[in-house]
Chain A
Amino acid sequence: DAGVIQSPRHEVTEMGQEVTLRCKPISGHDYLFWYRQTMMRGLELLIYFNNNVPIDDSGMPEDRFSAKMPNASFSTLKIQPSEPRDSAVYFCASIPGWLDREALSGYTFGSGTRLTVV
């Protein structure tokens, strides 16, 4: 398995522009999570989906942020309009539906998208 795939790896955009981040979870995983990481705030959970349905978006900072999961193999996080304070690394992660008591694996994170808004 190729793991969780995120694109692009790096994104530089001007303030006010729309930004779309993409994620492909591991096949068969029921849950998908979007995190944001900055030096000041650490890793923050933004939103998560279960079976393509958004369950908890309480971590989404503002209405400028939106996330969708049109099918089990694809999710997007969109920022419109972008602002310099949105600059961060955005991670996507996925897990199967139930806890693996044998603890062979946990969440699988993607490599992240480093977003810079100038």
Chain B
Amino acid sequence: LAKTTQPISMDSYEGQEVNITCSHNNIATNDYITWYQQFPSQGPRFIIQGYKTKVTNEVASLFIPADRKSSTLSLPRVSLSDTAVYYCLLRGEYGGATNKLIFGTGTLLAVQP
């Protein structure tokens, strides 16, 4: 499965927009890009998924350039409660082994007052 690379940590302040970039140079044609959020003592929670261009939901936006070798998770106006670890992963389209989510180290986002 293709590997993803993202910053180990990021700092922000309340009310700011936060952009976390993930690199996936070897992404396969059938891979979808997914992002998860994990709070301490909880399991990861699905945030957003995309294939190309831009996807937006009530929580975040996901920007994917045409070559799909990277993606950027955008969190608008973060609050203290957005302090968490954010994981970027690839998931295949056709089930089977491509359903395996392999987690990297993630990005620890620390939001300060």
Q: Mark A15-53, 1 if CB is under 8 A from B, else 0.
A: 000000000000000010101000000111100101000
Q: Which residues of A contact B101 (CB under 8 A)?
A: 33, 45, 93, 107
Contacts A93-B43, A99-B93: A106 and B100 contacting too (C-beta < 8 A)?
no
Q: How many residue pairs bridge A and B at CB < 8 Å?
A: 71
CB distance from A102 to the nearest CB of B (A): 9
Q: Cβ of B94: which chain A residues have Cβ within 8 Å of it?
A: 98-99
**A65-118 interface with B by 8 A CB criterion:** 89, 91, 93, 95, 97-101, 103, 105-112, 114
Contacts of A56 in B (CB 8 A): 97, 100
Residues of A within 8 Å of B93, CB to CB, are 99, 101
Chain A residues lying within 8 Å of B32, measured Cβ to Cβ, are 99, 101, 103
Smallest distance from the beta carbon of B92 to chain A beta carbons, Å? 7
B interface residues (Cβ-Cβ under 8 A, vs A): 32, 34, 36, 41-46, 48-51, 55, 87, 91-97, 99-106
With both beta carbons as reference points, the residue of chain B lying nearest to A91 in the complex is identified as: B43
Size category of the binding interface on chain A:
20 to 34
Least CB distance from B104 to A in Å reads: 7
Q: How far is the CA of A41 from the CA of B60 in the complex (A)?
A: 28
CA distance A110 to B101 in the complex (A): 15
The residues of A that contact B50 with a CB separation of less than 8 Å are 103
Contact A106 B49 (CB under 8 A): yes
Q: How far is the CA of A110 from the CA of B41 in the complex (A)?
A: 11
Least Cβ–Cβ distance between B7 and chain A, in angstroms: 15
**How many Å from the CB of A42 to the closest CB on chain B?**
6
Which of B43, B91, B94 has most A Cβ within 10 Å? B43
